[in-house]
């Protein structure tokens, strides 16, 4: 007698689970299906690794014969006690257990398309910034500017960047990242495109165009953070930020490598025109191809939408996906935000991050040109290589951070580890950079410093979303403002320091010390838990 019961003996009960039936004692089980409990067979043994096809819209009816015939024949055995227990869970909860997207699903999903567009926006954002760090050399020679005055010209961007992040963060919290990001890219692309005209008109017009660039770019990172919160569950946010920030670093590499080439072909202002027009094209694609929230996207699959919504950890996360289109909220509670040490850990961390970032961004081409006598074209190359490694390490470090949290390591410890690597690592590398005797060794130290620096994005940057989800935009704006103040001091201070002391190396050693102190402050006072900013300040 056959040891396998005929399919007709079973009654389907849902897309996987089948009702157990009474079996005659004369039926025997094949050896390969025996288990420590011979009367049970787990259907999970035969379950597909990627169940997305199994829960498509075509398998909806619990009594559909078509759905039954799509089930592999071996699945028509009796279900285990685990499956019986699983079937007692409501269907909306079952999705949380069954939906585990693999890498192929993740990389082709709608949420990754959104973060890829964010990465392109941040690439343009940084490319528009760094063009001036390359163009400043011929502009200084043509106009007879000193190094200290060159630092003032480059810092004009930061003066604009100083005033917009907090206001931009408030707008992002109320109107969502999609609209604010579109306005930001449009305005900073216009400022970039008009830079040649401004430079030919007057020095004040040039400073005004760079200030407008800074004002517009101040909304970029808060908008990115807002879109990541809306589109990604917490277990995927680090890698999402990694993809977006990889675009940010690639923008630096593109700007530093292409600018000298475009200048040789189209004059000093060639790259300003090219990058400005590219920004206008991005805005058109962004507005037509993306949505502010997953539930508003016409392209998103039902499977992905249910996965995103079911992975929300708090009720606020669900509410945050609905932009407030009524009226702007009252003034954010700045006093309560500033009364907590975790807030100050973020402000100090972002301040140090921006200090190092803008010092490298503005002065590395001049550093390699003056210290190692490297030609401008090669100086841009030496300065661009580290950004490429930083872009690669952004995704690697983000994936590692997500894996640590998924494996049960606390969010606080994960952020502290990432931040410590991201600050202490560059501090050590700057010491190596100062002692380097050749441009190749110096470039190697600088490249390693940037690769390790990327880890800090998964310390303080992602931490903004975690300690204050309802105020993430304004808190990010406050952190950017603190960072901008530090960047202004660092960028302008480098020029004055070199003019007074005559040494780039001394300033790099000072920066190394500040990295170590900032890492220590963050570890002591940061947290990965949500902070109650609504309690009154004593």
- Per-residue pLDDT 10s for the chain (538 aa) are 444 444 444 444 444 444 444 444 444 444 444 444 444 333 333 344 444 443 334 334 334 444 434 444 433 333 333 343 334 434 444 444 345 566 677 777 888 899 999 999 999 998 888 888 777 777 777 777 776 677 777 778 878 887 788 888 888 878 888 889 999 999 999 998 988 888 778 888 888 888 999 899 888 888 888 888 888 887 788 888 888 888 888 887 888 778 888 887 777 788 888 898 999 999 999 998 888 888 888 888 888 888 877 776 443 443 344 444 444 455 777 888 888 899 999 999 999 998 888 787 667 767 777 777 776 555 555 666 777 788 788 888 888 988 898 888 898 999 999 999 999 999 999 999 888 888 888 888 888 988 899 899 889 988 887 888 778 778 888 888 888 888 878 877 887 887 777 777 888 888 999 999 999 999 999 998 888 877 776 6
Task: Say how far apart CA 137 and CA 153 lie, in whole Å.
Answer: 12
Query: Could you give the 3-state DSSP secondary structure of residue 332?
Result: coil
Give which of 291, 254, 303 is closest to 128, Cα–Cα. 254
Q: Using the 8-state DSSP alphabet, how is residue 536 labeled?
A: P
Task: Say how far apart CA 146 and CA 436 lie, in whole Å.
Answer: 26
Element (H, E) at 310: helix 302-310
Ramachandran class of 348: left when φ > 0, alpha when ψ lies in -120 to 50, beta otherwise:
alpha
Tens of pLDDT, residues 394-451: 888 888 988 898 888 898 999 999 999 999 999 999 999 888 888 888 888 888 988 8
Within the chain, how many helices (H) and strands (E) appear? 21, 2
Per-residue buried b or exposed e for 103-117, using 16+ beta carbons within 10 Å of the residue's own CB: eebeeebbbbbbbeb
Contact criterion met (CB below 8 Å) for 417 and 456:
no
DSSP alpha helix (H) spans, 8-90: 65-70, 81-87
pLDDT of residue 47: 43
pLDDT of residue 312: 60
Contact criterion met (CB below 8 Å) for 342 and 412:
no
Tens of pLDDT, residues 114-163: 999 999 999 999 888 888 877 777 777 777 777 667 777 777 887 888 77
Task: Say how far apart CA 393 and CA 353 lie, in whole Å.
Answer: 16
Q: Which residue has the tokens 């189209």?
A: 266
pLDDT of residue 424: 94
pLDDT of residue 1: 46
Task: Say how far apart CA 188 and CA 280 lie, in whole Å.
Answer: 10
Give which of 344, 380, 348, 157 is closest to 259, Cα–Cα. 380
Contact criterion met (CB below 8 Å) for 346 and 464:
yes
pLDDT of residue 420: 95
Task: Say how far apart CA 337 and CA 95 lie, in whole Å.
Answer: 37
Query: Could you give the 3-state DSSP secondary structure of residue 19?
Result: strand
């Amino acid at each position: 007698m056959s040891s396998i019961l005929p399919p007709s003996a079973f009654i389907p009960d849902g897309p996987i689970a089948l009702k157990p039936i009474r079996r005659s004692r004369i039926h025997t089980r094949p050896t390969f299906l025996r288990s420590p409990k011979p009367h049970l067979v787990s259907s999970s043994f035969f379950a597909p690794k990627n169940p997305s096809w199994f829960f498509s819209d075509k398998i909806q009816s619990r009594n559909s014969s078509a759905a039954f015939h799509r089930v592999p024949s071996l699945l028509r055995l009796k279900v285990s006690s685990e499956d019986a227990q699983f079937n007692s869970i409501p269907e909306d909860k079952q999705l949380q257990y069954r939906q585990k997207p693999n890498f192929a699903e993740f990389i082709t999903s709608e949420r990754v398309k959104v973060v890829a567009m964010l990465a392109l926006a941040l690439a343009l954002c940084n490319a528009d910034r760094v063009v001036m760090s390359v163009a400043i050399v011929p502009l200084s020679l043509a106009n007879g500017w000193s190094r200290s005055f060159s630092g003032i010209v480059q810092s004009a961007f930061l003066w604009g960047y100083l005033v917009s992040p907090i206001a931009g963060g408030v707008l992002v919290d109320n109107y969502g990242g999609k609209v604010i990001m579109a306005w930001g890219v449009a305005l900073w692309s216009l400022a970039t495109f008009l830079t040649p005209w401004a430079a030919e008109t007057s020095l004040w017009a040039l400073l005004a165009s760079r200030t407008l660039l800074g004002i517009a770019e101040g909304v970029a990172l808060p908008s990115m953070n807002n879109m990541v919160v809306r589109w990604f569950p917490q277990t995927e946010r680090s890698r999402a930020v990694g993809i977006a920030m990889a675009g940010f670093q690639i923008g630096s590499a593109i700007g530093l490598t292409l600018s000298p080439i475009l200048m040789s072909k189209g004059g000093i202002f060639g790259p300003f025109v090219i990058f400005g027009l590219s920004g206008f094209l991005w805005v058109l694609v962004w507005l037509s191809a993306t949505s502010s929230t997953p539930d508003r996207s016409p392209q998103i699959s039902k499977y992905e939408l249910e996965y995103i919504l079911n992975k929300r950890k708090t009720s606020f996360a669900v509410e945050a996906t609905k932009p407030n289109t009524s009226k702007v909220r009252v003034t954010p509670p700045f006093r309560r935000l500033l009364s907590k040490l975790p807030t100050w850990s973020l402000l100090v961390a972002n301040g140090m991050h921006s200090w190092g970032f803008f010092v490298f961004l503005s002065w590395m081409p001049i550093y390699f040109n003056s210290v190692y006598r490297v030609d401008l074209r090669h100086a841009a190359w030496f300065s661009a290589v580290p950004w490429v490694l930083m872009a690669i390490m952004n995704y690697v470090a983000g994936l590692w951070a997500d894996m640590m949290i998924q494996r049960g390591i606390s969010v606080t410890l994960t952020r502290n580890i990432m931040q410590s690597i991201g600050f202490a690592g560059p501090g050590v590398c700057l010491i190596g950079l100062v002692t380097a005797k050749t441009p190749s060794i110096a470039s190697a130290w600088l490249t390693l410093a940037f690769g390790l620096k990327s880890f800090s994005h998964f310390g303080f940057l992602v931490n903004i979303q975690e300690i204050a989800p309802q105020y993430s935009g304004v808190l990010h704006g406050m952190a950017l403002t603190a960072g901008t103040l530090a960047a202004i001091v660092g960028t302008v201070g480098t020029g004055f320091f070199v003019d007074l002391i005559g040494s780039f190396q001394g300033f790099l050693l000072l920066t190394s010390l500040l990295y170590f102190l900032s890492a220590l402050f963050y570890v002591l006072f940061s947290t990965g838990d949500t902070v109650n900013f609504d309690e009154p300040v004593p």
